[in-house]
Structure formats: C-alpha cells, structure tokens
A and B are shown apart, each in its own frame.
Chain A
C-alpha cells in the first residue's frame, strides 16, 4: 500500500477528530463529575456510540478476524456470547445509575468502597484495574503498530504507529475529559462500522457473492463452519475464553463507569439497545473478514498479518484500504482513551483520594489529569516490548478483572457481603490468576478466567460468612435502590 496515502489518511483523521474534540469543550470541567462523567448528562445516542467505540477495539478486525482464521466459527460464538452477556447491564445499569446519582460516585471502585464501608476495598479494586488494564491498552497500541507497519511494508515502523496512537489517545482524553472522549468516540464508531462493512461487502462480492462465499468455505474449509472444527476451539478453550468476556460489561471499569453517565433512564436504555445492535453488526463484519482471509490466504504463519494482507489485496481498492485502516486505528485509539480516562479517575479518586486525609475535589482532578499521560507512557513502553499474541493477552486482562465481579453482584444483591470478603477474594484470586497466566497453567484443563470467577466467588462468600457485614449501610443502600426502582415502575 502506498505509504503517502497512509500518511495523508492518518493526517486527515487526526485533524478531523481533534476538531471534534475541541468542539466538545463545554461546561466548566473544573470538577471530577464534570471532567470524568460529563456532569452525568450524556445523551442516549452519544452514549451508545461511545460505549461501542470503547468496547470494540483493534481486537475486532485484527484479533477476532485472526481468531476466525485460526479456529473458524467458534470465534463468532465467543464474541456473540460476550454480547449476550451485555444483558447484565439491563439489570445492573439502572442500579449503578441510581446509586451514582444518589451518592455522587465517580468510579465503580468508589461505589464498592462505600457500599462495603472500607476504603481498602476501593484501593485494591482500583489497583487491580490499573494492573490489568494497562496491558490491555498496550495490546491496543501494538494493534496500531502492526497495522501501520504491515500495510506499508515497514516504511512506517511499528514504533511510529504505537507512538502516534499513544499521542492521539492522550490528546483525546486530555482536551475535554469524557466530553472529548465521548464525541470523538462517536465519530470513530460511525466511521469504523461504515468503512469495515463496506470492505466486507466488497470482499464478499469479489469472492463471488454470499452463496459462493459460503460454498467455498463449505467445500474447501468445512471445519471452519463448526465447533470444535479443526480443534482450535475445543470446549475447554472455548469456555476459558468466553466466560471472562461474558462479564466484561461489569468487570471492566471503562465500560461500567459509563453506567453513571447517561442523563436519564431513557438514555441508558438507548445506550444498551444501540450498543447491542452495533455489536451484532460489527461482530458479523469481523467474522466475515476472518473468513475472507481463510479463503484468500489459506496458509499464513502469522495470523496477525491476515488483516494487513486483506487490506493490501487486489480485491480492496487502495483508497478504501487506507480508509479502513484508519477505521481500525480509530477503533484502537477510542478504546485506549476511555481506559486512560477511567484509570486516571480511579487513581485520583480511589488511590490518591483514600490515601490523603482531606483530599479536595480540585486536587483529585489535578492528580487525575497528571496521571493520564503517565499511564499512557507506561502502556507505550509495554507495547514497545512487542508482546505478539494479541488475543491471548487481551483475554488475560479480562481474566484478571473478572475477580471483582462477585463483589459487584454482592453490592446490589447480597446484604451479607463484607469488605473482608472483597479484599480476600480480589487479593488472593488476583495473585492466583497472575501465576496461572505467567506459567500458562491450566489446572483441570480450565483457563485462568474460569478459575478467577470460581475462586473469587467461593472466597467472597466464604469469608463474608465469617466476618461482620456493614448491615446499616447495606440496608440503606439496598433500600435506596429498591425505592428508586419502584418509583420508576410506578412512573410507567
């Protein structure tokens, strides 16, 4: 692919999105709620698009397409079961939203700390988020690096790609906090879904239309249409990959924090439904993308190269290829900037805010803004280490974050849950998951994420039973939720 086209496309993308980011500056933005939550006044469509852009990253058209290439249709099951798991926010969403408004929470970890009446809960959950999400961001950065270097035959180096993505993510989150993130996310979401859908239609058309496309798969690669198929997605691998992702909408603070932001329940509803429809389309696009690679390049050694090869193939007109490449870059950057912003708020609110005696809102905001580039640089260094197995690392971060899920369930549905239960489950399981990942151990054939959810649940329940629950707070908290939801029911 012509390198000067690529540079032009990247430049145009940067100019337009920076313009949008500057336009989004409104309101005072001089307190935490304004900067990190947009004053809890986000509209439904922007929430839905931004949620989509944050969730779907370079992983989709690079990693998931690669996974389809390696293992066939199991990749579709994996991603769609995740999407079904997003149903969790139809139950948790209004609850997060109600308590966010009532108690003024900025971060999910702050909510846990208050509900379980122990600052250490907020601190440990916050630190766990940082520990696992920084590698996740690094994975996104490597996605951009591979893409740019792959498409230009290394004329734009991996490091340059990573650097561009890092700087853009810092700028998008810095210019107006969540407002610039949400608006640039929305633009990028529209851009990435339209461009990738067009390319997939062009590919399918070039490969003979839908019926011929599937016929080729059925005759030449039949195993790609069933599970376990070629054996890649044996049932243990499938469960091990899918289970942690099913809880993604609760376990990942960059998305669960979004539940605090819509201006009304109606907008929360638009966010959920809008995201699910977006997700279904984008998933199908990524799977068709992977299947196209299976048909076009059946014998690749490095599956990460499937996407760059498709984009530089004869079937895709060069200009379209370049535009989609920018779409994939946008997908990566729109995920990273949201993570940066969430981690900055989590660090400022839950780590700094709980370690200082009298933290003012202003100081926390300053710390948050300072932390944004620091986290970005750490992710950048991580990415420069070129850890190649994109999918596996992404899943590892999910496995690591899943350990807070029992505590989140307990927050709304179990009065007996205790701070000691959370501390023990997150602390102990966190260490175990890291060990399992580091040594690639799979006891009984089960992956770290499965152990993460099983062990953290058992420890949370077990320790909670033998320690004292914050009864008064639990009662008051759950009554608040109940009353608010009943009021809503009567309104309808």
Chain B
C-alpha cells in the first residue's frame, strides 16, 4: 500500500472531472477524430497509468 493514497485519489478524481468537463466545453465543435474521441481515449490511458503507479508494489515481497 502507498502511504500517499489520498494524493492518488485526488489526482484520479480530477482526471474524471476533466473527462466530464472538457468535451462539453472545449471540444463540442471539434467534429474530428482528434476531438473528444482522442481526448477520452488518451485520458483513460493516463488513468490506467496512475492506477499502475498506485498499485504496482502490491504483493512484491510476501
């Protein structure tokens, strides 16, 4: 377990909030593949990466 779990929780919460806000505010007129489609996909990859950093040490020395 990480000691700074709370920091990770805040980061992930912010990323999820961005996922709601950006496509409806900055991208509604970008009717291209690099608009909301790319944005949500990349953001998900980032969230998975943050999860990896958070849990990568689980069960390493048992």
Contacts and interface: CB of A to CB of B under 8 A. Distances in A.
Nearest to A280: B44
Contacts of A228: 24, 28
Contacts of B8: 90
A486 B1 CA distance: 7
Contacts of A488: 1, 58-59
B1 A85 contact: no
Nearest to B52: A273
Contact of B55 (A90, A227, A239, A284): A90
24 contacts: A73-B37, A74-B36, A76-B36, A77-B23, A80-B43, A84-B47, A94-B58, A218-B31, A223-B31, A225-B31, A226-B27, A226-B30, A226-B35, A226-B36, A227-B27, A238-B20, A264-B59, A265-B62, A273-B52, A273-B55, A280-B48, A489-B2, A492-B57, A492-B61
Contacts of A491: 60-62
Nearest to A84: B47
A268 B8 CA distance: 18
Nearest to A217: B33
A175 to B, nearest CB: 31
B60 A81 contact: no
Interface of A: 73-74, 76-77, 80-81, 83-85, 87, 90-91, 94, 214, 217-218, 222-223, 225-228, 235, 238-239, 242, 246, 264-269, 272-273, 276-277, 280, 284, 485-486, 488-489, 491-492
Nearest to B47: A84
Interface string B1-45: 111010011001001100110011001111111011100110111
Contact of A87 (B29, B31, B47, B58): B47
Contact of B36 (A227, A242, A486): A227
Contacts, number: 127
A205 to B, nearest CB: 17
The 8 closest A-B pairs by CB, nearest first: A266-B59, A222-B31, A265-B59, A214-B33, A269-B58, A265-B58, A492-B57, A485-B1
Interface of B: 1-3, 5, 8-9, 12, 15-16, 19-20, 23-24, 27-33, 35-37, 40-41, 43-45, 47-48, 50-52, 54-62
A276 B58 contact: no
Contact of B9 (A74, A91, A492): A91
Nearest to B36: A73
B57 to A, nearest CB: 4
Contact of B24 (A227, A266, A492): A227
Of A73, A76, A265, A273, most buried by chain B (CB within 10 Å of CB) is A73
B41 A77 contact: no
A385 to B, nearest CB: 35
A81 B15 CA distance: 10
A492 B43 CA distance: 29
Contact of A81 (B20, B31, B52): B20
Contacts of A273: 48, 51-52, 55
Contacts of A226: 23, 27-31, 35-36
B51 to A, nearest CB: 5
Given A84-B44, A85-B16, A267 B55 contact: no
Given A81-B16, A91-B5, A235-B24, A267 B59 contact: yes
Contacts of B48: 273, 276-277, 280
A479 to B, nearest CB: 15
Residue with the highest number of chain A CB atoms closer than 10 Å, among B12, B51, B56, B58: B58
